[in-house]
A and B are shown apart, each in its own frame.
Chain A
Amino acid sequence: MNSMTDEYVTEDGRRIGGTVMDLRNITLRFGGVVAIKDISFDIRQGEIRAIIGPNGAGKSSMLNVISGFYVPQEGEVWFKGYRRGPMKPYQVARLGIARTFQNIALFDGMSVLDNIMTGRLNRMKSGFLSQAMWWGRAEREEIEHREAVEKIIDFLEIQNIRKTPVGRLPYGLKKRVELARALAAEPQLLLLDEPMAGMNVEEKEDMSRFILDVNDEFGTTICLIEHDMGVVMDLSDRVVVMDYGRKIGDGTPDEVRNNQDVIDAYLGVAHD
C-alpha cells in the first residue's frame, strides 16, 4: 500500500501529504473478547482523520493502538515508514505523538501554566540537580520552554487562567488546557479522544475552531474520536466508521454519510 502518490489539496487549500500512520490488518483481543477485528486504514500528513461509531464499537481501543498503549495481537502498525514494535509511553511521545483523554487527565492541584509545562518535559535536557537548583541550563531551558508554552496559551486564548489551579476550572476549559498540554509537546500526530464530549454548543464551536486552527497553523496531523456527527462531518477530511470492532466505512464525510452500512449502524436495522 503506497499512498505517497496520491497527495491532494483540500477545498480550503490545505496540502494533504503521504501516509504518516498505516494500520494493517489490526486485530485486538482482550481474552475472549475481540475489540478490533482485522481493521486497516491510514492517516495522512496534515489531515484531520475521524474515527466514529456507536458506543462500544472499539474506537477508544483503536486510538490506544495508534498511541501504542495497546499492542495488537495481529497486524502491523507503521509510523513514518517504520514498523512499530511494543513501546513505552515516553518512547511514543518522543516519536511525536501526543493525545488528550476522554476523561480529563490533568493535575488538578497545579496551575494551568504548570500543567502545560509538563507537556514539554520530554524536551528538557537539564539534569535533576540542575533542575532542583534552578541554575544554569535548567534556568535557560525553562525560559525557552515557557516561551513556547506562552505561545500556546496565547493561541488557545487562556491567558486569563494561566495561574489558576486546574481543579477550579469549568469542564470546557479543562478540555482546552488538555489540548494545550498535548500541543506543548509539538506533536506531529495529535490524538483527541472525544474532544467535545459533554460540552455545550458554544464550547463545541470554540473547540472546533481551535482544532481547525491547530491543523492549519502548525500543520499538525489530527486523529480524533467524536460522537457528535455534525462536528465530525464539518471538521474532518476523512472518516473511518467502526461498528462491533469492524470497519464498516472509510472515506470523505460525504461518502460515509451515504454509506448504507453506516446508516444501518447508526439508525439500527430490523433483524429478523
Chain B
Amino acid sequence: MTESQAPAGELRSIPALLARNVARFGHRPAYREKEYGIWQSWTWSEAADEIRALALGLLGLGLRPGDHVAIIGRNRPAHYWGMVAAQMCGAVPVPLYQDAVAEEMAYVLGHCRARFVICGDQEQVDKVLEVARTVEGIEQILYTDKRGMRKYDHSRMNALADVQAEGRAAKQRLQGELDARIAALDYDATCVMLYTSGTTGKPKGVVLSNRNIIETAKNSADFDRLDRREEIVAYLPMAWVGDFIFSMGQAMWCGFTVNCPEGAHTMMTDLREIGPTYFFAPPRVFEGQLTSVMIRMEDAGRLKRAMFERFMKVARRVGPQLLDGQRVGIGDRIAYGLGNLLVFGPLKNTLGYSRIRVGYTAGEAIGPEIFDFYRSLGINLKQLYGQTEASVFITQQPDGQVRSDTVGVPSPGVEVRIADSGEVFYRSPGTFVEYFDNPDSTASTKDAQGWVATGDAGFFEEGSGHLRIIDRAKDVGKMADGSMFAPKYVENKLKFYPAILEAVVIGNGRDFCTAMLNIDLTAVGNWAERNNIAYASYQELAGHPQVYATLREHVEAVNRSVADDPMLSGCQIHRFLILHKELDPDDGEMTRTRKVRRAVINEKFHDLVDALYDGSTEVRTETEVTYEDGRKGSIKAVLRIEDVPVFGQASARKVAAE
C-alpha cells in the first residue's frame, strides 16, 4: 500500500496518476470488460496507450482546452478512457445519464455547450442528432459501437477506434502539444463536471477540481485501506458522482481493477464471475437480491429450506457480532462455521459476494432487516452519506461501528456541523468549486467559508457520535394541527416491505396523511403466481383486491410503529391508493437516481391527491407516459382508495373529529 502514502507531489491530475500507475505496476490489470463471452483485459500500460492514442486523436479533431466533452453510454473502458483523454487535452469530461430522453439531454448539452460528444452506440447518437437540431455548438460526435452506423453522414462523426488510429498516426506531429497540455493540468483545474439530477428544478452542473477528486479518493481509500488488489464492478450510471469516485478517482489513486459488465441484463452473472472485493450498490439492488433469494428459497426443496431457516437464525443472532469482532460463545461459533460451509458460503458465492471486504450502500435508507441479512452472512456492508457537491463522502461508517439507522462519522478531512434549523452543513477538501454558469445557486449553497448546505435535516447521536438523517429539510413540514410531517420516515418504513417498491406520503399542511404506493412487480408477481391469481398487466395486478388487502395490512403495521414515535405519530396514513403505473424517471416522476420528485407527483396526480382527501372511494384517472424512445402515450385507470386504521393519539383525534 505504499502508493497511498506517496507524497502527492506531482500527482495533481488523473493523467498524472495514470502515468504513475504505468510506471509502478504497468503490467497489472487496470480494466476488464466482458465482451464476446469472455473477460477482455487491459493492463495499466495498455490502457495508457489506448488513452493516449485517443487524446492525440481528439487533439487532431481540434479539441481545445476548456471545452466540454459529453460522454453518454454504459460503463465501458472506452468511455472511462474518453474521460481521461479529454482531461489530457485540457478539456472537461461531462458524463450524462444514458437513459435520459432527448429533451433532458438537450438542456444539459446546451447548458455546458459541449463541442464534442462521445456516444456509446447508435441509440445515443440518434438522440444527440435530434438534440443537435435545436442546440447549437455540437461539432463532433464520436461513437464506440459501430453497429448500424454505416449509413450516417460522417462529415462530423467518427468511430472512437478510428479517432485512436488517427491519433496514433499523428503521434509525431501532436505529442509535443499533448504533453504540454498534460503538464499544464494543476490541482485546481477542473477534473469533471457532473450534473445533479435534482429533485426540483433544472439540473445543475457541479464542477469538481482535481483537488476535490484526488483528495477525496486518497482520504476514502485510506479510511477503508483500499489497495491495488481491489476488484470493483462498474455498473452504476457514469453520470453519477459515486461511479466517478469509485471507478475513476479511487481506481486511479489505488491502482485497482475496474470491471465492466457485458450489459445491464448480464450484470448479476458478471458480478458473480468477478467477485468484487469492494462494492457499492444502492439499497434497491440489495433489496432486489434479497427478494430473489427469498423467492428461490420458497421454491426450494424441504431439506434446503429447513437448512436455510435453521442457519439463518444462527446468522441473525451472531453474524453481525462476529463481523464486528465481538465475543461470541464457542457453540455459536461452531454453528456459524457450519452454516458458513453449508449455507452462507454457497449463498454468498451465488450472489457474487464471496470476496467482499468493503461494501457500501447509500442514497436511500436501507431496511434494517435487509441490512442485517447481509451483515449476518458476514458481508461487511456499511452505509455512507454523501452528495455530488461533496465528491460523495460526507460521513461513513468505520468497520465495527455499523448500524442500519445511522450514516456514520464524518469522513477523514470532512467537518460537519448541524445548524440551528437542524440542517446538516459540511466543509471538506472534496467540496465542489461551483455550479457551472450559475453563481446564484453557488452562493446560496456554499458560503464564503466553504460550508455547504446539504438540504438534509439530521442530528448527531449522543454517545456514538454518528450522524442520523431525518429527511430532506425542505420536505419536513407541519400538519394542519402543527405536528411534524416527515414523509421520508414513513415512506422508508413502507418500502421495507418487499411488496412495496415506492411510496409517496402526502400530508404537509393537511389534516391527515395519505399515501400513494407502487407495487414491486417481482415480489407481487411471484406471490400472484403462487396463489393462482391471474393478471394481464401491471395495472390489473396493482388493482387486485387481494393485493390491496395485503398492502393495507402493511400500511396498518407501519401506522402502528409510527404511533410509537410521539414526535411523528401524526404521520400515520389514514387513506391510501395503489398507483396504476410505476413511477419512472422518463416521466419526470423520479430523478435518474430514483428519488421521488414530490412537486411533480403532486401536480401530475393532483386528481388522485384530491380524491385521497375528499373521501371518495374510487377515482378515474388518465396519465401520460413516456416510452423509452421518447414517444408519449397515456393510460387510463380507475383506482380504489382504501381507509386504514390509525393508532394512539391520531385515532383519538379522528374519533373526536368525527
Partner of B151, one of A113, A151, A216: A216
A148, closest chain B residue (CB): B36
Q: Given A159-B262, A159-B266, A160-B263 in contact, is the A154-B151 Cβ separation under 8 Å?
A: no
Instruction: Kindly supply a per-residue 1/0 record for chain A positions 235-255, scoring 1 wherever the CB is within 8 Å of any chain B CB and 0 otherwise.
Output: 000000000000000000000
Instruction: Kindly supply a per-residue 1/0 record for chain B positions 623-636, scoring 1 wherever the CB is within 8 Å of any chain A CB and 0 otherwise.
Output: 00000000000000
Contact B37 A150 (CB under 8 A): yes
Contacting B at CB under 8 A, from A72-109, are: none
- Per the bound structure, the CA–CA distance linking A216 and B151 in Å amounts to 9
Contacting A at CB under 8 A, from B9-55, are: 35-38
- Per the bound structure, the CA–CA distance linking A131 and B113 in Å amounts to 59
Most buried by B among A113, A153, A159, A213: A159
B209 vs chain A, min Cβ distance (A) = 38
Instruction: Kindly supply a per-residue 1/0 record for chain B positions 468-511, scoring 1 wherever the CB is within 8 Å of any chain A CB and 0 otherwise.
Output: 00000000000000000000000000000000000000000000
Contact B266 A147 (CB under 8 A): no
Contact A150 B36 (CB under 8 A): yes
Does B133 lie at the interface of the complex (its beta carbon under 8 Å from any beta carbon of A)? no
Partner of A151, one of B36, B263, B265, B266: B36
A53 vs chain B, min Cβ distance (A) = 31
Interface size on B, residues (CB 8 A): 13
Q: Given A151-B36, A153-B37 in contact, is the A12-B265 Cβ separation under 8 Å?
A: no
Contact A154 B150 (CB under 8 A): no
Contact B150 A216 (CB under 8 A): yes
Does A146 lie at the interface of the complex (its beta carbon under 8 Å from any beta carbon of B)? yes
Contact B265 A159 (CB under 8 A): yes
Does B148 lie at the interface of the complex (its beta carbon under 8 Å from any beta carbon of A)? yes
Q: Which residues of A contact B621 (CB under 8 A)?
A: none
A163, closest chain B residue (CB): B269
Q: Which residues of B contact A213 (CB under 8 A)?
A: 147-148
Q: Which residues of A contact B37 (CB under 8 A)?
A: 113, 146, 150, 153, 159, 162
Q: Which residues of A contact B262 (CB under 8 A)?
A: 159-160
Q: Given A147-B36, A151-B36, A154-B35 in contact, is the A217-B147 Cβ separation under 8 Å?
A: yes
Contact B151 A12 (CB under 8 A): yes
Partner of B147, one of A113, A146, A153, A155: A155
Q: Which residues of B contact A155 (CB under 8 A)?
A: 147
- Per the bound structure, the CA–CA distance linking A113 and B38 in Å amounts to 13
Does A13 lie at the interface of the complex (its beta carbon under 8 Å from any beta carbon of B)? yes
B269, closest chain A residue (CB): A160
Interface size range on A against B: 10 to 19
Contacting B at CB under 8 A, from A169-212, are: none
A146 vs chain B, min Cβ distance (A) = 7
- Per the bound structure, the CA–CA distance linking A151 and B151 in Å amounts to 21
Q: Which residues of B contact A162 (CB under 8 A)?
A: 37
- Per the bound structure, the CA–CA distance linking A217 and B122 in Å amounts to 14
Q: Which residues of A contact B150 (CB under 8 A)?
A: 216-217
A209 vs chain B, min Cβ distance (A) = 9
Q: Which residues of B contact A153 (CB under 8 A)?
A: 36-37
Contact B36 A216 (CB under 8 A): no
- Per the bound structure, the CA–CA distance linking A12 and B153 in Å amounts to 12
- Per the bound structure, the CA–CA distance linking A89 and B330 in Å amounts to 70
- Per the bound structure, the CA–CA distance linking A223 and B266 in Å amounts to 33
B630 vs chain A, min Cβ distance (A) = 15
- Per the bound structure, the CA–CA distance linking A165 and B354 in Å amounts to 26
Q: Which residues of A contact B148 (CB under 8 A)?
A: 213, 216-217
Instruction: Kindly supply a per-residue 1/0 record for chain B positions 353-387, scoring 1 wherever the CB is within 8 Å of any chain A CB and 0 otherwise.
Output: 00000000000000000000000000000000000
- Per the bound structure, the CA–CA distance linking A213 and B36 in Å amounts to 18
Contacting A at CB under 8 A, from B260-277, are: 262-263, 265-266, 269
- Per the bound structure, the CA–CA distance linking A84 and B510 in Å amounts to 83
- Per the bound structure, the CA–CA distance linking A266 and B150 in Å amounts to 37
B150 vs chain A, min Cβ distance (A) = 7
Residues of A within 8 A of B (CB): 12-13, 113, 146-147, 150-151, 153-155, 157, 159-160, 162, 213, 216-217
Other CB < 8 Å A-B pairs besides A160-B265, A160-B266, 20 of them? A12-B151, A13-B151, A147-B36, A150-B36, A150-B37, A150-B38, A151-B36, A153-B36, A154-B35, A155-B147, A157-B263, A159-B37, A159-B266, A160-B262, A160-B263, A160-B269, A213-B148, A216-B150, A216-B151, A217-B147
Query: Can you list 9 A-B contacts (CB < 8 A)?
Result: A147-B36, A150-B36, A151-B36, A154-B35, A157-B263, A159-B37, A159-B266, A160-B263, A216-B148
